[in-house]
Amino acid sequence: MEKKDVLNKMIPADDLHWVADEGFVLLSLEEVEEIIQTGKAQDMSEDDIIKTVRWCESIRTGQVLWKNILTGGIRIHHFENDEPIFTKGVA
């Protein structure tokens, strides 16, 4: 399942941010801007700042998925290549 499918089908909209022209996203525009400014303050290259934003998105994905596993909104159906495959939960 692609990241977009997980966002659209597995994660409740309440756990996401709406951005015009992009739809639901994991990080708010303010959070992305804060990451960018922090990267610039640390003299990071543009490429490294982009990698940092992507890394933060992956961390947020894990946090949101874990929260929804704990509340029963989603569950792990099985594993493929040591990665969980999610399905709707019982909540």
Whole-number pLDDT of residue 7: 54
How far is Cα 72 from Cα 27, in angstroms, rounded to an integer? 23
Summarised one tens digit per residue, pLDDT across range 21-79 is: 878 888 999 999 999 999 999 999 999 999 999 999 999 988 988 998 999 988 999 99
DSSP string computed for 44-57: --HHHHHHHHHHHH
Q: How are the residues of the chain apportioned to helix, strand and coil, as percentages rounded to the nearest 5? A: 55, 20, 25
Domain count, the chain: 1
Q: Does residue 90 surpass a pLDDT of 80?
A: no
Instruction: Give the range of the structural domain holding residue 43, as residue numbers without chain letter.
Output: 3-88
pLDDT in tens, 64-75: 889 989 999 889
Predicted confidence band at 5 (pLDDT cuts at 50, 70, 90)? low
- C-alpha distance from residue 44 to each of 40, 64, 76, 88 (Å): 6, 27, 37, 39
Q: How far apart are CA 41 and CA 81, in angstroms?
A: 38
Neighbours of 37 (CB within 10 A): 11
pLDDT of residue 85: 87
